[in-house]
Amino acid sequence: MFNQIIMARKEANSSAESEMAHQLQSIGETIGNLTLDLPTLPQPVSKTDFTDNEWINKPALKLFKLDDAETCSLGRELLSILSSGVPQQHVGIIFVLAFQLRQPGPRPNDRIFPNKDPLATTQDLQYNELSPRIYGAKGTKVTPRTYGNDDNKQACAYAYIAASMLRLFTRSAGNYLEYWNRILNDFKKFYTIDCPIYGFSPCLSVLESIRFNFSHSEIYKVTLYRYLYMANDQDKAIGLRNYLYDTAISHTGMHIVSIFVRLCLSLNISPAELLVVVYMGRFKRQIDELIIAIKLMKNTDEDHRRMMWKYGRIFDETFLLGLQSRTCPHFVYLIASMLKEENDESAANILWIRQLEEVSEDYKVEWREKGKKLLKMIHQVKEEV
């Protein structure tokens, strides 16, 4: 299908664009035919890899197993301060509670994480060694209400809520608060019962304080790294993990990666084919780095099987910098407009990404029209083969 796409591009171009057609032929030959065995590119300015072991020796907070009663005690302590103010040590409690996450089911006894952290170092800290100073709002503590006396189910709920708070590494406090009731209501989808904890809501300023701590303290980032390293070393409760935090914190700031993959799936063509179609000189850096991202997706060697690279931008802001949405809003808009045109129902709000506000209205019209022409060409070629 590569040759047909290239010929279609040639016919659509004017003679003044013959050099671009030559470049298109070259990249088509380089990428290869219908495979993800993509070329090794010259090193870009961005950091182009984040291996699973990248942060393996950094000190973090100690993660350890609690029994149900201990989990409930810490859970009540954490949730009660979400309406009043949060010390750094209580930010640490979030990770300890999230480490108690249970597998879905009516009697959640099976734990997702091991009893001990296999990456533990002698420099690791207990959460209560952090500062007890209160940040954020200083309102009145509100003790959450519970129903029933089953510590097992309540412990499960506290761990579930704590794991959902990991979204604050990449989502705003307002966004998390907006989903708060939905998160509690969806507990039943995974554990077959209503959430046994109710009657409270976090304070926005406290959530903002937690997010600030997540963003500006390396020990919390390293603890997240440890948590994800252990979670991704297995295939337990992938749906639950995706729902609570993983989807929210993957590919941070790189909307183009997921949008591009969705468009490939919608069109039923390979990433290599779509790269040939959308290739433009002005987007060379983005296409180069998309090729790198696609190669990482397919890499299952020992250094990448946990896919820690998905979270690379949380740990290193230079990781695949060229794919950051604010770096390439025009490229994101082109691909997003094609996805919306091709599959409007599932991509209804795809053009509302905040960074796309930087694209002028004139350019938006231009990219939508360009996207429609590219889609028409793809469908014509598919009909011919």
**What pLDDT sits at residue 165?**
99
Q: What is the pLDDT of residue 26?
A: 52
pTM of the model: 0.85
> What local confidence, expressed as pLDDT, does residue 354 receive?
87
H or E stretch at 168: none
Cβ atoms of residues 238 and 232 within 8 Å: no
Question: pLDDT value at position 281?
Answer: 92
Question: 61 pairs with which residues across the strands?
Answer: 125
Task: Give me the pLDDT at residue 343, please.
Answer: 80
User: Is the four-CA dihedral 17, 19, 22, 28 of positive or negative sign?
Assistant: negative
N- to C-terminal Cα distance for the chain? 7
Dist CA 376 CA 261 (whole Å):
19
Residue 316 tokens, joined: 């290193």
Could you give the 3-state DSSP secondary structure of residue 125?
strand
- Give me the torsion for CA of 214, 215, 218, 224, rounded to 10°: 50
Determine the Cα–Cα distance for residues 202 and 200; give it in Å rounded to an integer.
Answer: 7
Q: Please list the ranges in the chain whose pLDDT falls under 50.
A: 15-17, 20-21, 23-24, 27, 30-44
Token pair listed for 51: 């291996």
**Contact yes or no for 260/290 (Cβ under 8 A):** yes
> What pLDDT is recorded for position 171?
96
Bridge partners of residue 146, in order along the sequence: 197
